[in-house]
Structure 1
Amino acid sequence: MERMNESDSVPVKPPVARKEPTYRTHHGDTFVDDYEWLRNKESAEVLEHLAAENKHVRELTQHQQPTRDAIFQEIKQRTQETDKSVPSRIGDWWYFTRTSEGQQYAKYCRVPAQNTGDEHADWTPPEIPTDAVLDGEVVLLDGNKEKEGQPFFSLGAMAFAEDGSLFAYAVDNAGDERFTVRFMDPVTLSHYDDVIPGAFYDLALAPANDRVFYTVVDDTWRPFQIRQHVLGTPVEQDTVVFEENDPSMWLGFDLSADRTEMVIQAGNSEYAETWVMDLVDPGAQPRLLVSRDERVLHGIDPVQIGDQRYYLLVHNRQAPNNELAIAPASEFEKPYADQQWLTLIKHRETVKLSGSAVNRRYLILSLRENTTERVQFLSLDQVAEFIASSATASTDSSTASAPANGAEPLNTAADSADLSGVVVQPQFDEELCSVWFSDAPYDSPFVRLSYTSFFTPAQIFDFDASQQQLELRKETVVPGGYDSSQYVATREWADAADGTKIPLSVLRRADVTPDGTNPTLVYGYGSYEASMDPQFTVPRLSVLDRGVVFVIAHIRGGGELGRSWYEQGKKLQKKNTFTDFVDATRWLIAHGWADPNRVAAMGGSAGGLLIGAVANLAPELYKVIVAQVPFVDALTTILDPELPLSALEWEEWGNPITDPEVYAYMKSYTPYENIRAVEYPRIAAVTSLNDTRVLYVEPAKWVAKLREVTTGSEPIFLKTEIDGGHGGASGRYEKWKDIAWDYAFILDGLEVSQ
C-alpha cells in the first residue's frame, strides 16, 4: 500500500502498527485483537504512532491544500463574522452574544431591560448594533481571553440569577467534557473564590442564589450524581442531592419553568424515572413521581394551574409515539396502578410527540410529522377548562355506581375527547424545514422559535400564540451574493431490499439533473432515534457548487418516521441501518442521481459505525469514505462496562456480556471484527485524542487492521486532533478548517476539480 508523494515522486510508506495479540473470550468465542495495545494513551509509543499517522496524512494529502484553502475562504466569505445573537431576557437584563471578525470565540454580554408596564414592549428584545455598544452594555465573558494559554476552550452550561446578581459558567480546557464551574458578580465583574472542578453539563442556581446544583460523571463518563454547592463554602463540603448507581441509566436535571422545583430524571432509550424536589424549602428531599419499575419512557413538566400543582407527562404508556397527559400532584401519592392521568393529546400513528415545555400562559409541544419537526401551542386556560369538564364528565358518568367514599379520579377512557383540535401551529411555507422552540421565558407573552431549511438560513421568531403572530427577530445574513434559488432540495424515497421506503433528502445545485454523471456524497447516522433534520449550513454550499449531489439518507435507527422507525434499527434489527444505507446508494445510482464510479460516504460517531459497516458490506460502491470520530470497535467497547458509556449502550445495541445472541449478532456487523480481504476504497478516519464518547483507539485500531487486510491500493488514513474532543478542535476558524479538510478529501477522491 505504498503511495507516491506527488511533490517528489518518492514512495511514502504508511506507519505500521506492530502486532501484539490480545485474546478476548465471551460465550465460547475467542477474538484475537492484534492492536488493542494502542489503547494506552499515556504510552510514548502510542503517541509516537499517532504523530506518525498525522505526518503520513500531511505528506499524502498536501496536494489537497489548495482545495482546503478555497473551501475555508468560501465559508469565511459566506459568514457574517461580526454578528450578534437575539437577546434573551432574564429578570431585568437582556443577555446576548457578539462575534467579531478575526476572533475565534464569542463574547457574552448583557444590557439592562426596561419595565414600562407594556409587556409586549418590555419583552421585545432591543436591536443590537454590530458596530456600536449599547448604553449599559457589559461584557461578562470573552471566550477569546478565556482561551489564552489553553490548548482548548469550550463553554458548557451557564446560569444567571433572576435578580442579575450572579453569573455561573462552566469551561472545558481539555476537550474531555469535564468542566470547571466559576462564579462572577456581573456588576463588579469580579470572580468569587468558589471553583467547582469536574462538573458535567447540568448547572442551575437555586431561586435564592445561595446554592448551585450541578452533575458529575463517574469513571465511565456517565453522569451519576447531582450535587449541591453552597456559595462561600469549600467544594469538599458539597452534598449529594441524588445518586444514580445503575450503570445503564443517565442522570440529569432541570428546573421547573417557575423555578420552584427541580425535576430529576434517570433514564435510557427504553424507560425513565422521575423525581421532583422543592427548591423553596432548603431542607426538601427528592420525591418520586414515576418509577423505573413501570418501564415507561417519559418526560415531565411541572405546571401551576390555578391554585393547584400539576405535572404534564409526555409518555409512551400504551402509546409508542407518545401521548400528552396531565395529573395533579396528589395523584402521584397513589400506587402507580391506581393513578389516573388525563390524556390531553392522544397517540397518533403518524405523529411522534417529542417533548413539551410550559410558561405562565402556554403549553408548548414539539412533534414530528412527515419526517420533519414542528411546534404546537395549547393555552393553559384551555387545559384548565378541559380538566374541569373531564372531571365533571367522570363524576356524572359514575354517580349511579360510585362507591360510598367518593367519585373516581380523572377519566382516561380511550374514547374520550382530546385537545388536538384546538392546538395552534405556526405555519411556514417550505415542506422540508425544521421548527423548534428555543426559549420560553415564564412571564413572556412570546415563545421564541427557530426556523431553517436546507437552503433557508436560520431565522429567529418570537411567536405570540394569542394573536397567532410571528415576529421576525433575526434572519441570518449570508454575504457573498448567496441566492437560495440556485439550489434545490427534494424528498425522494428509496427502496430497501425488504420493501421498506427509505426517505432521502437530495440536495443539489438547480442545474444538476439525474443524468448518471453526478459525483455524489451520501451522509447518514441512523442511531439513538436521532433525526437528520433540514438545516442550512454554509460549508455544504462549497460541495454543491462543485456539482456534487449531497444526499442525507434517513435510515432506520433514526427518528424521522416515529418510534417504530427507530426500533427497526436497534438491537437485533441494527443491520437494517446498514443495509438501508447501501440500498439507498444503489437506488441513487439506478435513478441517475449518482455516477456509479463517483460515490462518497460520510458519517460520524454512531454514523461512523454505520460507515465502517457499509465499507465492509459494499466497498465496491464507494470511491472515498470519511469516518468522523467513528464508533468502529463497538463490540470491544460495549463488552467492557468500565469503558466510557459502555453500560449505557446496552439499551441501544443489547448486552453482549450476558446475551450470547446479542454477542453473535454484534460480532457479525461491527466494523473492526468484520474487515475482510477485499479492495477497500480510499478512507480517512478522523478522531480526537481527548474524545470521551468514542475513544481515539477505535479508529486507530480500525485503520491498522484495514491496511493489513485490504487487497486494494487506495490509501487509508488516520488523522488525530491532539487538542480536541468529540467535536474536534475548538474555535470557529479551526472547525472550518476541519470541515474544509473533510470535504477536500472527498472532492479529491471523487475527482472533482476546483
Structure 2
Amino acid sequence: MTSETVKAALAPVAKKVPFEMEQHGHKRIDDYYWMRDDSREDKEILAHLAAENKFVDAQMAHTQALQDTLFEEMTGRLKKDDASVPYQRRGYWWYTRYEGDNEYAIYARKKTTLDNKEDVFLDANVLAKEHEYFSLGGVSVSTNNNILAYSTDTESRRLYVIEFKDLATGKMYDDKLVNTSGSIVWANDNKTVFYIKKDVQTLLGYQVYRHTLGSSQDNDKLVYQEDDTTFYTGIGKTRDSQTIYIYHDSTLAAGASVISAETPNADFTPLAPITSGHEYDFDQHNDWYYIRTNLDAKNFKLVKVSRSESSDTSKWQDVIPHRANVYFEDFIVFNNHLVVEESENGNTNIRVINLKTNKETSLPFNDAAYVATFDTNPTADSDKLRYYYSSLTTPGSVIEVDLNTFESTTLKQDEVLGDFDPNWYQSERIFVTARDGKKVPVSLVYRKDKFKKDGTNPLYQYAYGSYGATIDPYFSASRLSLLDRGFVYALAHIRGGQMLGRTWYEDGKMFNKMNTFTDFIDVTKSLTEQKYAAKDKVFAIGGSAGGLLMGGIMNMAPELYLGIGAHVPFVDVVTTMSDPSIPLTTNEYDEWGNPANKDSYEYMLSYSPYDQVKAQDYPNVLVTTGLHDSQVQYFEPMKWVAKLRDMKTDSNKLYFQTNMDAGHGGASGRFRRYKELALEYAFFMDLVGINK
C-alpha cells in the first residue's frame, strides 16, 4: 500500500483552535471557527476540503461501478433532444429546447406560425463553453421583439452580469451591468430596463436601478433602495405588460410599488401600504387590480379594487372570500374567466369561474398524491388554460383545457426512455398522528412487485419543513432507480411547510421549530410500525434548511436511521444568525429568531445541529456542499463534519464532499448534477448490500 493510499484511507482530522463566543452571559467554544474564509483562498482550508474529497473517493471507490450504472440509468431515461411547449406572445411562438448531450438550453422563436423558420436567439451552451460553472439568470426580450437582455453567473455566487444583444444584427451592445440579481424588466419604450443591484458582501439585492440602453452603468439612476435588511427585493411586470413593479418581501410583510410601463421615468408608488403582518401580491386586468391578500384572512383571499383606489384597503372588494380550511395559493384573470389554485387537506384544486355566468367548475384529478399548478398563460385574451400536472407515478405534463367546454389536451408529457410503465408503481397519501395529535400528511410511492408491507423494504424519507415551502409530490425519473431496487419513497409534509395552510407553517417556525423535527421522527416511527419499511433500513434526506432538519433528527433520534444525506446543510444556526454580514441572515429573523434576543438565542441553541453534537453513536452520513454557496456557506457543513468526527462514538461512515466549482444548487447543467445523485444513491444502497 502506497503512502498516498494510506492517507486516503484515513479520515481527515481537523485541528482545533478554540474560539470563544459569549451572548447573554452564556459562553460557547467553537473549535472550528477558523474554517471560515470569505475569500475562499486560504490554502489550509482548501487543502482540508481536498483531503475530504479524496477520502470520499477512496472510501466509495468500490461503488464506482454502481455509481456509473446509476448515472447511466438516470441520464438514460432523459430525452436528449427535447423542447418545451411553445407559447404565443407578441407575434411569435417562444420555446426552449435541448440538443444531444448539451447541458444547457437553446432559446428560440418562430414568427407567426410554428411552420416558419426557427430563430435561435440564445444558446446557453455557447456562453457556458469556457466555464466550469455556468448559470443563466434572466432572459428577457424587449417589447418590440428586437433586443435581448440576458444575465449570467460563472462563479456560483449569484452575482449576475446583464448583457444585451441586437436580434436583427446579432451584435452585442457595449452595455454590461455587474453585481445584479439577474432579473431584467423592460419598459415599453424598448430602451429602458430595470434591474436589482446586490450588496457583494451580504449578497442581498437591495437597490433597483434604471438603465438606458447605450449608456454606462455608472450613469444608471437609483430608483429604489431597501434599507430594511429583513426584506428581499424583486422586480416584475404584469401579464398585460402595462405595469412595472418592485416587490417587497419579508417573512411577515409583502407588497408592491408600481409605475406604468409607458412612463419609465416616473416615481414608484406603493400599490397599498406595506405593513407588518400583511402580505399581498397582485395582477392587473384592465382598470382593476386583483390582489391576493392575508388581510383578515390567514389562509389568504382574493380581492379586487380600482387601480386608482388601491391604497385604500376599505375599497377592496372580496372576490374569493377567506376560508379557514382552504389555502388560497394563486390565480389568473382571463377576460372571460377567473381561475384559482387552492389547497384543501393537502390536495390542490384548480377551480374555474365563468365571469359572465358565475358558474364554477373544478378540474378533475385522480391520483392519491399529485401536483397541479399553472403553466405559461401569457395573455388574458384566451379561453384556454395551460397547467402543469405530475404525480408520484405520472411524468410531468403540460395540459391545455378549454375553459368553456372543459375539453383537455395533453400538449406534452415528459418522456421516460427505457424500461418504464407507470402501472408498475403505486402511490399513497396517508396521515401520521404526531406526538401532539396533529395529523401529518405523507406521500408514498413504491414499485408494486418489489414491495411487501411486511417491514422488509428500505425507506428513503425526504422532507424540507421551512419557509412555508410546500414540497409537492411530483414525478422523478431518477427516483425510479430507487424504486426499482425495492426502496419505498416517502415525502413527509411536516410542519414548517404549508401543505395544510398558513397555520401549518406557523406551527413549524420560530418558537415552534421543534415540531419540524419531531414530525419527521414521528413519521419515521409510524412508517416502520405500519410495516412500510424495515426499521434497520431507514434513510433520511434533506438539503439546505432540510439539512438543518437532518442535523436535528440525527442529534435527537440517531438510532432510527441507517443513513443520512445532508446536502448544503444549514447547521450552525446560532452563529450564522448572529452575524448580519452573512448572506440571508437579516432576512430570516422572523423565520428562526434573532439571537440578539435572549429567548430566541436559547431556543435556537436547543436545536442547532452544530451546537448539539454530542458524544453518541450517529448514523452513516454523507454531507455535500459547494465551495461558492451563497446561501449556506461551505464552512457550516465543514465545521459540522469536523465536530461530528471528533465527538461521535461509533465507527459508521462519515463522508464530506465539496464541489469546488458549485454553489447552493450543486453542479450546473442538466446531466452533470446526476453524478452527485448517483453518489448519494450508491452510498445508501451499499449500506443495505445492493451493489448493482
Q: TM-score, normalised by structure 2?
A: 0.96
Aligned equivalent of 1:496: 434
Determine whether 1:682 maps to 2:657.
no
**2:682 & 2:168 partners in 1: Cα distance?**
47
Aligned equivalent of 1:406: none
Aligned equivalent of 1:178: 159
Aligned equivalent of 1:238: 220
Aligned equivalent of 2:446: 508
In the alignment, structure 2 segments of 5+ residues that lack a partner are: none
* Shift, 1:11, TM fit: 8.4
2:13 to 13, 16, 30: 16
| Deviations 1:514-573, CA, capped at 9 Å, x for gaps | 101111111111111111112111110000111011111111111110011111100000
Instruction: Mark the CA change 1:8 to 1:17 in structure 2 (over 3 Å): closer, same or farther.
Output: closer
Given that 1:298 and 1:316 are in contact with CA atoms closer than 8 Å, whether structure 2 keeps it comes out as yes
1:437 to 367, 374, 396: 374
* Shift, 1:699, TM fit: 0.3
Q: Which amino acid aligns with 2:385?
A: V
In the alignment, structure 1 segments of 5+ residues that lack a partner are: 115-125, 127-133, 383-418
* Shift, 1:144, TM fit: 1.7
Instruction: Mark the CA change 1:252 to 1:359 in structure 2 (over 3 Å): closer, same or farther.
Output: farther
Determine whether 1:708 maps to 2:646.
yes
**1:196 & 1:571 partners in 2: Cα distance?**
38
Q: Which amino acid aligns with 1:430?
A: D
Instruction: Mark the CA change 1:423 to 1:168 in structure 2 (over 3 Å): closer, same or farther.
Output: farther
Given that 2:368 and 2:428 are in contact with CA atoms closer than 8 Å, whether structure 1 keeps it comes out as no
Determine whether 1:742 maps to 2:677.
no
Q: Which amino acid aligns with 2:304?
A: I
Aligned equivalent of 2:203: 221
* Shift, 1:750, TM fit: 3.0
Given that 1:278 and 1:285 are in contact with CA atoms closer than 8 Å, whether structure 2 keeps it comes out as no
Given that 1:514 and 1:592 are in contact with CA atoms closer than 8 Å, whether structure 2 keeps it comes out as yes
1:344 to 315, 319, 323: 319
**2:505 & 2:276 partners in 1: Cα distance?**
21
Instruction: Mark the CA change 1:357 to 1:263 in structure 2 (over 3 Å): closer, same or farther.
Output: farther
Given that 1:359 and 1:441 are in contact with CA atoms closer than 8 Å, whether structure 2 keeps it comes out as no
Q: Which amino acid aligns with 2:112?
A: A
2:661 to 705, 723, 737: 723
**1:135 & 1:340 partners in 2: Cα distance?**
49
Given that 1:691 and 1:726 are in contact with CA atoms closer than 8 Å, whether structure 2 keeps it comes out as yes
Q: Which amino acid aligns with 1:680?
A: Y
Deviates more, 1:688-697 or 1:160-169: 160-169
Secondary structure of the residue aligned to 1:627 is strand
Aligned equivalent of 1:526: 465
Instruction: Mark the CA change 1:33 to 1:366 in structure 2 (over 3 Å): closer, same or farther.
Output: same
Q: Which amino acid aligns with 1:24?
A: M
Determine whether 1:587 maps to 2:526.
yes
| Deviations 1:173-205, CA, capped at 9 Å, x for gaps | 111111111111223222212111121142111
Given that 1:361 and 1:379 are in contact with CA atoms closer than 8 Å, whether structure 2 keeps it comes out as yes
Determine whether 1:554 maps to 2:493.
yes
| Deviations 1:359-398, CA, capped at 9 Å, x for gaps | 444433222223133333344556xxxxxxxxxxxxxxxx
**1:532 & 1:156 partners in 2: Cα distance?**
23
* Shift, 1:268, TM fit: 1.4
Determine whether 1:113 maps to 2:94.
no
Aligned equivalent of 2:234: 252
* Shift, 1:684, TM fit: 1.0
Output aligned runs, 1:64-75, within 5 Å: 64-75=63-74
Instruction: Mark the CA change 1:634 to 1:294 in structure 2 (over 3 Å): closer, same or farther.
Output: closer
**1:374 & 1:202 partners in 2: Cα distance?**
31
Higher-Rg member (1/2): 1
Aligned equivalent of 1:35: 32
Determine whether 1:261 maps to 2:243.
yes
* Shift, 1:319, TM fit: 1.1
* Shift, 1:10, TM fit: 9.1
Aligned equivalent of 1:653: 592
Output aligned runs, 1:123-522, within 5 Å: 126=114, 135-218=116-199, 219-293=201-275, 295-304=277-286, 309-332=287-310, 334=312, 339-379=314-354, 381=356, 422-442=359-379, 443-511=381-449, 512-522=451-461
Q: Which amino acid aligns with 1:648?
A: N
* Shift, 1:322, TM fit: 0.7
| Deviations 1:603-625, CA, capped at 9 Å, x for gaps | 00100000010000011111111
Aligned equivalent of 1:131: none
Secondary structure of the residue aligned to 1:290 is coil
**2:132 & 2:691 partners in 1: Cα distance?**
35
Given that 1:373 and 1:533 are in contact with CA atoms closer than 8 Å, whether structure 2 keeps it comes out as no
| Deviations 1:666-687, CA, capped at 9 Å, x for gaps | 0000100000111111111100
The aligned length equals 686
Secondary structure of the residue aligned to 2:386 is strand
Q: TM-score, normalised by structure 1?
A: 0.88
Given that 1:111 and 1:137 are in contact with CA atoms closer than 8 Å, whether structure 2 keeps it comes out as yes
**2:506 & 2:568 partners in 1: Cα distance?**
24
Deviates more, 1:533-542 or 1:439-448: 439-448
* Shift, 1:462, TM fit: 2.3
* Shift, 1:77, TM fit: 2.2
Percentage identity across paired residues of the two chains: 36
**2:192 & 2:41 partners in 1: Cα distance?**
38
Secondary structure of the residue aligned to 1:292 is coil
Given that 2:147 and 2:167 are in contact with CA atoms closer than 8 Å, whether structure 1 keeps it comes out as yes
Q: Which amino acid aligns with 1:671?
A: P
Aligned equivalent of 1:387: none
Instruction: Mark the CA change 1:723 to 1:615 in structure 2 (over 3 Å): closer, same or farther.
Output: same
Output aligned runs, 1:561-710, within 5 Å: 561-657=500-596, 659-710=597-648
Secondary structure of the residue aligned to 1:674 is coil
| Deviations 1:489-514, CA, capped at 9 Å, x for gaps | 10122221111111111211112021
Aligned equivalent of 1:390: none
Q: Which amino acid aligns with 2:97?
A: R
Secondary structure of the residue aligned to 1:661 is helix
**1:22 & 1:286 partners in 2: Cα distance?**
47
**2:368 & 2:73 partners in 1: Cα distance?**
28
Secondary structure of the residue aligned to 1:600 is strand
**1:161 & 1:752 partners in 2: Cα distance?**
53
Q: Which amino acid aligns with 2:479?
A: R
**1:432 & 1:374 partners in 2: Cα distance?**
12
**2:139 & 2:101 partners in 1: Cα distance?**
25
**1:248 & 1:381 partners in 2: Cα distance?**
43
**1:708 & 1:529 partners in 2: Cα distance?**
35
Q: Which amino acid aligns with 2:407?
A: Q
**2:88 & 2:280 partners in 1: Cα distance?**
29
Given that 2:8 and 2:58 are in contact with CA atoms closer than 8 Å, whether structure 1 keeps it comes out as no
**1:36 & 1:10 partners in 2: Cα distance?**
25
Secondary structure of the residue aligned to 1:613 is helix
**1:647 & 1:575 partners in 2: Cα distance?**
21
Q: Which amino acid aligns with 1:589?
A: T
Instruction: Mark the CA change 1:74 to 1:60 in structure 2 (over 3 Å): closer, same or farther.
Output: same
Secondary structure of the residue aligned to 1:312 is strand
* Shift, 1:294, TM fit: 5.3
Instruction: Mark the CA change 1:49 to 1:676 in structure 2 (over 3 Å): closer, same or farther.
Output: same
Given that 1:373 and 1:434 are in contact with CA atoms closer than 8 Å, whether structure 2 keeps it comes out as yes
CA-based RMSD of the aligned residues comes to: 1.9
